[in-house]
Amino acid sequence: MHFFYSNDLSGEKIILPDEEVHHANVLRLNIGDKVSVLDGKGTVVQGNISILSKREIIILKESSKFIDRSTPILSIALAPTKNIDRYEWFLEKATELGVQYLIPIITHQSERRQINVEKLNKKILGACKQSGRAWIPELHLPISFASFVTQDFAGDKFIAHIAGKLLDELVPDLKHLMNALVCIGPEGDFTAEELNLAIKNGFKSISLGDYRLRTETAGLVMAAKLGL
């Protein structure tokens, strides 16, 4: 079943926004076809296409359900990669795996310091529809590492570093985590000063194993361990 997005699912008739109309026409859907529509805030509607044209599509609601957020509530703060395609890939996979908050952090050794948030949000929405996720992750604006790690956070905070302890050893039962934040640095890793600042502010240093992973791969490993 195809998924579409609308920020208003309150009525019995769901009017798709223009971009979703284009998507539906590309898929060559027909009147009577059953589809799902999500609002990105937990509600998913199923219904049938009642009106279809190149300019307008209306879905007649059949059923509606609300899906609670999965736990732990997972936030991943990851330095944008020099090759933006790799960062887009991470955002898509993190969305599929259930990461709820995505924070681009700018570190001392970051090779990319600017991103197109609007474009990346479209990638996230596409991944949400593809995977049928009821919640659209929130992509934050880029923030400096120092500013980010000194902010308050109610939950368990981790910083991935080659010299840290394995997460499974540090937290034997991951199911007990309710709210988790993981920081992952650029290809050049965090500096010693950044690592010390994070630890001073309550972050626990963790290792993802014996091998050096690319930034986006490390993010995916954490999403797989703590997401879904």
Give the type of residue at 73: I
| Section 110-128 average pLDDT | 94
Q: Would you say 88 and 118 are in contact if contact means Cβ atoms under 8 Å apart?
A: no
Mean pLDDT is lowest, of 21-25, 113-117, 133-137, 197-201, for 21-25
| Section 160-173 average pLDDT | 73
Q: How many CB atoms lie within 10 A of CB 73?
A: 18
| Section 126-135 average pLDDT | 93
Q: What mean pLDDT is reported for the chain?
A: 91
**Closest residue by Cα to residue 60 from 42, 38, 35:** 35
Token readout for 116 is 């197109």
With cut-offs at 50, 70 and 90, classify the pLDDT of residue 72: confident
| pLDDT tens-digit map of 45-63 | 999 999 998 889 999 999 9
Report pLDDT for 220: 93
* Backbone dihedral region for residue 147 (phi beyond 0: left; psi -120 to 50: alpha; all else: beta): alpha
Q: How many CB atoms lie within 10 A of CB 87?
A: 23
* Residue 49 CA to its chain's centroid (Å): 29
Is the pLDDT reported for residue 172 higher than 60? Answer: no
Distance CA 51, CA 74 (A): 39
Q: What does pTM read for this prediction?
A: 0.90
Report pLDDT for 181: 94
Better pLDDT: 182 or 210: 182
| Section 179-202 average pLDDT | 93
Handedness of CA 65, 70, 76, 80 (dihedral sign): negative
Report pLDDT for 170: 65
With cut-offs at 50, 70 and 90, classify the pLDDT of residue 12: very high
Q: Would you say 20 and 49 are in contact if contact means Cβ atoms under 8 Å apart?
A: no
Distances (CA, A) of 211 to 52, 167, 204: 52, 15, 19
Q: Would you say 50 and 60 are in contact if contact means Cβ atoms under 8 Å apart?
A: yes
| Section 110-117 average pLDDT | 93
